[in-house]
Amino acid sequence: MSDPAFLSADQARRFVADGFIVIQSGLQLPTHARIDTELRELFRGQGTLALADNVLPSVPSLNQILEAPAVRGAVASVLGPDFAWAPHRFPHNSEPAPQTEPIDAFADQPEMGAGSISGSGWHQDGHYRGGRCRWHTFRAANVFYFPRDTPIEMGPTRLLAGSHLYANLNCAQRAQAAFRPLPAGTAIVADFDLGHAGSPNRTDKARYMVKFVALRTNGRQAMEGAGEWQTPVGLASVDDTPNAWRSIWNWQRGASRHHGIDPASNMNGTIAALGSAHAHARLESIYRLSATEAAVRPLLAALRGTAGQGRHKSPDPGSAAYRSRGPNPAERRFSFHQFVPEDATVALAAMGEPALTALVELTEDDDPWMRMNAAWALGDGSLTGQTVHAALSRLLADGDVNVVRVTLDALCANPAFGEATVRQIATLLQSERPEWCVPAPAEPRVGTTWRARDQVRFLCAWALTNRATLGDPSPELERALTNALADDTDYVPAVACEGLGRVGTASALRAAFDYLQRRR
C-alpha cells in the first residue's frame, strides 16, 4: 500500500475553517466507471436500504477508494494516522426529478425524484444507530465519494461551509451554501457535524454517491509539522472567527489551546453572547472566554442556569428538537440522535486546567444534564490525568443511561484510562438492564430496532478499541472485545473486530478472523 498523501498546511487550515476539503481520489477513470456500473446494477436489484452497510462486500472495488493515498492522507491529516473506518457506509441515490425550475443552492427540502434516499433538507448527521456527541475538535469525518461526473443538474451534495461548529443550523446563511460540479472520482472529506443536503437530479440518469465514516481513535494525536494559524485566503465560510479557528488549530497541532487567543475584556457582554443567534458572536465568545481564567465562575453560573429543565431526556424522534432544530436556537438538549453540549461547557473544556476542579465537582451534581456536560468537557482532550479519568469512571456507574452514554463517548475521545475503567466497560458490555431496553432510534428515517442498551454497548466497544490503539492493551481488554463478538447487533462485533486487530496478539487476531470467516 502506498504512503498516504497528507493535506498541505493550507488545505488543513481550510478544513478547520470551512469544515470540508474537496480532493481527487487519484484513481483511473475506468475504476470509477466500473464502480458506477456495479452500483447501478445493485440498486436495480436491491435498493439503498437493502445494500446499506453491505455496499463494500457488494462492490469490492470501493476498497480502492478507501486505500487511495489521497483519501487516506486527507482523513489522516484531520483525524490522525490511527483513524478507523466505521462499520457504517451508506450508498445515496438521487433519482431523476424532471422539474424544470432552476436548482436553488440554499433551498431546504426541494422535491427529489421518487425512490431517492438522499435527503434534500439541510441537516447535521447523527452516528447511524450509535448516536454520539458533537465536538469542535475533530473526532469523525464523512467521506462522500462520487464515481461519475456529477454536474449541477445531476444533483451533487450541497454543503454549508463553516457549519461544523454550529450547535444547530438555525443561523445558516445563503452565502454559506457550497454547490459545485464534481468530476468522477471526487471525494469530499467533511467534518461529521458539517451541515449538508442532497439536491434534485434534473437528468434522466440516477446519481450515486457512497458515504463512508472515519473516526479518530487516538485521542489527541498531533499533526506533524503544522505551523502557526494563518487564515487562508478565499474561504467558503462566511463567519470570521479567528479565535475559534486558532484554538482548534492549536489542538490539532498539539499546542496550548490558548496560544494566540484574545482573552475576553468585557466579561458580562462576552458571557451574554453565548446565547447569540449569530454564529460569529457565539463562537468568538466561547473561545475568548476559554482563554480567560477569571471566566470559570461566570461560565459555571451560565451552565448551572440550564439545570432543572429536563434537557437530559431525549425529545420525540419526530420533533425538530430531536435534531437540534427547535424554535430556540440557544437551547441544547440530549437526544439519541446526537448530544450537543452547552456553549459554556465547550468554553470550560477548552480552558483546560483552570476549570478542572469545577468540572469534577459538576460530575456529582443532582441534575443529569450537569453531569452530562461535565463528562463531555472532561473527555474533550484538553484535560488528562488520573483525576479526569477517575471522575469519568465514577460516571460509568450513573443511574441515568444517557449520562452513561455521554461518558462512554468522552472516554472514546480521551481513552488513556486504566484497568479499573476497562473492567467497568467490560461489565457494561455484558450487562442486561431492563430500564435500558427503551427504543433509541439515532436515525429514525432509515429504521432501527436499537435500544439504549445497544448504544451503550456500541460505545463500550469503541472505547476499548481506542484504548487498544494507545498500546499495551491488557488481557482483560482483549477478553472484553472477544466476548463482544457474541453481541446480538451487527455493529458491536464489527467494532470489536477492529479493536482486536489493534490488540494484535495471536489470540485476538484469531478471534476476529474466526468471526469474520463465518460471515464472509
- Phi/psi class of residue 352: alpha, beta or left (left: φ > 0; alpha: ψ in -120 to 50)? left
Q: What are the cell numbers at 211?
A: 458515504
Q: How many domains does the chain have?
A: 2
Concatenated DSSP letters of 217-244: -SSS-PPTT--S--PPSS-S-----HHH
Domain assignment of residue 37, yes or no = yes
Predicted local distance difference test score (pLDDT) of residue 484: 98
CATH of the domain at 471: 1.25.10
Predicted local distance difference test score (pLDDT) of residue 128: 67
Strands 140-146 and 186-191: antiparallel
Domain assignment of residue 520, yes or no = yes
Domain boundary at 215, 237, 254, which?
Answer: 215
Q: Which neighbouring-strand residues pair with 23?
A: 187
Instruction: Name 75's Cβ contacts closer than 8 Å, sequence gap at least 6.
Output: 83, 141, 143, 189, 214
Domain assignment of residue 402, yes or no = no
- The domain in which residue 430 lies consists of 415-520
Distance CA 160, CA 166 (A): 10
Domain assignment of residue 29, yes or no = yes
The identity of residue 208, as a single letter, is Y
Domain boundary at 215, 238, 268, which?
Answer: 215
Q: Single out the residue of 55, 200, 189, 214 nearest to residue 121, CA to CA.
A: 200
Domain assignment of residue 31, yes or no = yes
Domain assignment of residue 385, yes or no = no
Q: In degrees, to the nearest 5, what angle opens at C-alpha 492 toward C-alphas 488 and 494?
A: 110
Domain boundary at 215, 230, 261, which?
Answer: 215
Contact by Cβ (8 Å): 170, 329: yes
**Residue ranges with strand state E in 31-155:** 84-94, 132-133, 140-146
Predicted local distance difference test score (pLDDT) of residue 226: 84
Distance CA 292, CA 279 (A): 20
State the DSSP code for 96: B
Q: What are the cell numbers at 205?
A: 440518469
CATH of the domain at 112: 2.60.120.620
Predicted local distance difference test score (pLDDT) of residue 176: 97
| pTM reported for the whole predicted model | 0.96
Q: Single out the residue of 149, 183, 191, 169 nearest to residue 106, CA to CA.
A: 169
Which burial class, exposed, middle or buried, applies to 305 when counting CB atoms under 10 A from its CB (0-12, 13-18, 19+)?
A: exposed
Distance CA 418, CA 462 (A): 15
Domain assignment of residue 220, yes or no = no
What is the SS3 assignment for 466?
Answer: helix
pLDDT in tens, the chain (520 residues): 789 999 999 999 999 999 999 999 999 999 999 999 999 988 886 665 566 788 998 899 999 999 999 999 999 999 999 999 999 998 999 999 977 778 899 999 999 999 898 889 999 998 767 778 999 999 999 999 999 999 999 999 999 999 999 999 999 999 999 999 999 999 999 999 999 999 999 999 999 999 999 999 998 777 877 899 999 999 999 999 999 999 999 999 999 999 999 999 999 999 999 988 899 999 999 999 999 999 999 999 999 999 999 999 988 877 877 777 777 777 898 888 889 999 999 999 999 999 999 999 999 999 999 999 999 999 997 788 899 999 999 999 999 999 999 999 999 999 999 999 999 999 999 988 888 888 877 665 555 678 889 999 999 999 999 999 999 999 999 999 999 999 998 899 999 999 999 999 999 999 999 999 988 7
Predicted local distance difference test score (pLDDT) of residue 284: 97
Contact by Cβ (8 Å): 24, 31: no
The identity of residue 46, as a single letter, is Q
